[in-house]
Amino acid sequence: MCPICLDRFNNLAYLDRCLHRFCFPCIQEWSHNKAECPLCKQPFASILHSDPHLLTCILSILYPRLISPQPILTGPKTSQLTLTLPSEFAGIRL
């Protein structure tokens, strides 16, 4: 549920600093008045939205070492990467 409109998320968006979630239209409108999170009041520089690498962006903010992969060589020109996501990411739909 979007904390601004109190409805289901419409085009999910995240704030770059605190990663709070909002409807994109809601937080976009909010940002015209204030560039601070409506929930925690932390200033933000950008809204993460419709980015095919959104999950990677979020994870790199929360877990920078997790996103600097160290490939496991399994043969010539092949590699394998396993990421174990923390439980707070269970059920996130992008």
Helix (H) or strand (E) holding 25: helix 24-33
- pLDDT of the residue at 46: 87
Angstrom distance (rounded) from CA 54 to CA 94: 8
Domain-located, residue 33: yes
Instruction: Provide mean pLDDT across the span 77-90.
Output: 51
Residue 89, in any domain of the structure: no
Q: How many domains does the chain have?
A: 1
* Alpha carbons 56 and 7: distance in angstroms, whole number: 26
Q: Is a pLDDT exceeding 90 seen at residue 84?
A: no
Specify the CATH number for the domain of residue 51. 3.30.40.10
pTM above 0.85, yes or no: no
The model's pLDDT over 7-21, given as tens digits with 9 standing for 90+, comes to: 999 888 989 899 999
Residue pointed to by tokens 């925690």: 40
Q: Rounded CA gap, 48 and 57, in Å?
A: 8
- Tell whether 28 is covered by a domain: yes
> What does the alpha-carbon distance between residue 67 and residue 58 come to, in Å, rounded to a whole number?
10
